[in-house]
Amino acid sequence: MLQELETIYKEALEAIASVRDSEALRAWERTYLGEKGSVYGMLRSIGKLPKEERADFGKRANEVKEALLAAMTEREKLVSAAELARDLEEGQIDVTLPGRPHPTGGLHPSTHTLRELYRIWGDMGFQVYRSRDVEDDETNFTLLNIPEHHPARDMWDTFHTTTPGVILRTHTSPGQIHAMRELGDEGNEPIRVILPGMCYRYEQVTARSEMQFHQLEGLAVGRNIRMSDLRGTITEFARRFYGPKAKIRFRSSYFPFTEPSVEVDVECFLCGGEGCRVCKYSGWIEIAGAGMVHPTVLQNGGYDPTQWSGFAFGMGPERMTMNKHDIRDIRYFWNNDLRFLEQF
Ligand code: DAH
């Protein structure tokens, strides 16, 4: 047995010499020094020896155990120093490497345009009034002088909800009713607001028309507001948005909620009126529908139309963005293609 002990001792010393990491060291410890390890195994079976040999064997076995423990402590120092060195080596930061690009978000092109519109209209005294996306039939149509079954309802293809009479707004104009009723103090206070928001139409999606898009509505109600105020205000807006030389024109049109109604064109800012692809060779680009608020609409907003008057307009921020950047397909706006969105 003594012979066997010496063999184990020799073997253990040889084995530890090739231990390179702490995992291997733990395995070595289990093999030679663990509860079930060989040296302990031998100590446990000491009873099998004849009595007179036990003392010598025990002494030697303890020496071997101590020697192996010492060898392990030595090895542990080496192994952990090596591991630390390797960690430091691997974790080294090369400060000369170029930085990794950090992706940042950006604003949607429509948001850029809307913010510019808020700034310009804000400077001109119009405050932002937020109105709901989900409307009722009555406010979206009837109160705007578009009665049920009136053929003018065909101008807007509507998304209906499963609740009768509850729809998605087809334009921001119903916000006029909410604004007049909420801010007008029962028809006693003048108001000047812009009403931005998403609108929805049950429409065939094409390069020119989407089923959702923004509008920016404007409304001014006061005591002596006239068509010339509308013209002057829109002209000033155009100068601020398109540049000091911007020219506008009014074309006669029809909307149920205004009388008279116009469509507003700005002289093409790309070709200066010469004619180009963006203005479809007409020299003019449509920027808004507008008009004097219809007496019925004023009344529905709580105002006495014999005392009060107002103008209103509606613009399309996506259209404006498309013209500005020569974007030829409105579908780019909502299909979340980063190649498009990252250009703004
Ligand atoms: N609501 C109209 C539309 O969807 C746009 C519009 C036209 C708004 C004339 C107005 C206006 O306020 O006066 O197409």
Q: What is the pLDDT of residues 333-343, one digit of tens each?
A: 999 999 999 99
pLDDT band at 309 (very low <50, low <70, confident <90, very high): very high
Comparing 264-268, 307-311, 323-327, the range with the smallest average pLDDT is 323-327
pLDDT band at 194 (very low <50, low <70, confident <90, very high): very high
Model pLDDT for residues 227-260, shown as the tens digit of each residue: 999 999 999 999 999 999 999 999 999 999 999 9
Which segments within 201-299 are labelled E, that is strand? 212-222, 248-253, 258-267, 284-293
How far, in Å, from the CA of 277 to the mean position of ligand 1? 26
How far, in Å, from the CA of 156 to the mean position of ligand 1? 11
Q: What CATH number corresponds to the domain at position 223?
A: 3.30.930.10
pLDDT band at 179 (very low <50, low <70, confident <90, very high): very high
Whether 98 is covered by a domain: the verdict is: no
Q: pLDDT over 90 for what percent of the chain?
A: 67
Q: Domain count of the chain? A: 2
**pLDDT given for residue 149 in this prediction:** 87
Predicted structure pTM score: 0.73
Residues 18, 143: one domain? no
How far, in Å, from the CA of 265 to the mean position of ligand 1? 14
Instruction: Report how far residue 293's alpha carbon sits from residue 119's, in angstroms, rounded to the nearest whole number.
Output: 24
Query: Do 3 and 23 touch, CB atoms closer than 8 A?
Result: no
Whether 220 is covered by a domain: the verdict is: yes
DSSP 98: P
Residues 207, 254: one domain? yes
How far, in Å, from the CA of 78 to the mean position of ligand 1? 83
Model pLDDT for residues 18-73, shown as the tens digit of each residue: 989 889 999 899 988 888 778 888 878 888 888 888 888 888 888 888 888 998 99
Residues 141, 32: one domain? no
How far, in Å, from the CA of 289 to the mean position of ligand 1? 5
Whether 191 is covered by a domain: the verdict is: yes
**pLDDT given for residue 162 in this prediction:** 96
- Establish whether residue 289 lines the binding site of ligand 1, counting it when its CB lies within 6 angstroms of any ligand atom: yes
Whether 104 is covered by a domain: the verdict is: no
Among 255, 292, 293, 315, the mutation site with the greatest number of ligand 1 atoms within 8 A of its Cβ is 255
- Residue nearest ligand 1's atom 3 by CA: 171
User: Last residue of some domain: 90, 124, 152?
Assistant: 90
**pLDDT given for residue 33 in this prediction:** 87
Residues 62, 117: one domain? no
- Residue nearest ligand 1's atom 4 by CA: 171
**pLDDT given for residue 328 in this prediction:** 92
How far, in Å, from the CA of 227 to the mean position of ligand 1? 16
Residues 30, 115: one domain? no
pLDDT band at 226 (very low <50, low <70, confident <90, very high): very high
- Establish whether residue 258 lines the binding site of ligand 1, counting it when its CB lies within 6 angstroms of any ligand atom: yes
User: Last residue of some domain: 60, 90, 120?
Assistant: 90
How far, in Å, from the CA of 258 to the mean position of ligand 1? 8
Confidence check: pLDDT of 104 > 90 = no
Residues 134, 201: one domain? yes
- Residue nearest ligand 1's atom 7 by CA: 289
**pLDDT given for residue 89 in this prediction:** 87
Whether 97 is covered by a domain: the verdict is: no
- Establish whether residue 217 lines the binding site of ligand 1, counting it when its CB lies within 6 angstroms of any ligand atom: yes
Residues 129, 24: one domain? no
Whether 22 is covered by a domain: the verdict is: yes
| Upper half-sphere CA count for residue 249 (Cβ side, 13 Å) | 10
**pLDDT given for residue 269 in this prediction:** 87
How far, in Å, from the CA of 313 to the mean position of ligand 1? 6
User: Last residue of some domain: 57, 90, 123?
Assistant: 90
What average pLDDT does the chain have? 93
pLDDT band at 108 (very low <50, low <70, confident <90, very high): very high
Residues 80, 119: one domain? no
Residues 160, 11: one domain? no
- Establish whether residue 312 lines the binding site of ligand 1, counting it when its CB lies within 6 angstroms of any ligand atom: yes
Residues 273, 137: one domain? yes
Across 309-326, average pLDDT = 95
Across 308-317, average pLDDT = 98
Whether 96 is covered by a domain: the verdict is: no
Whether 141 is covered by a domain: the verdict is: yes
Residue matched to tokens 């992706």: 103
Residues 58, 119: one domain? no
Q: Which atom of ligand 1 is nearest to the CA of 314?
A: 8
Residues 74, 128: one domain? no
Q: What are phi and psi of 200, to 5 degrees?
A: -135, 135
Please list, in sequence order, all residues whose beta carbon lies within 8 angstroms of the beta carbon of residue 164, skipping any fewer than 6 positions away. Answer: none
- Containing domain of residue 25, as a range? 2-90
Confidence check: pLDDT of 152 > 80 = no
Which segments within the chain are labelled E, that is strand? 127-128, 134-136, 166-168, 191-200, 212-222, 248-253, 258-267, 284-293, 309-315
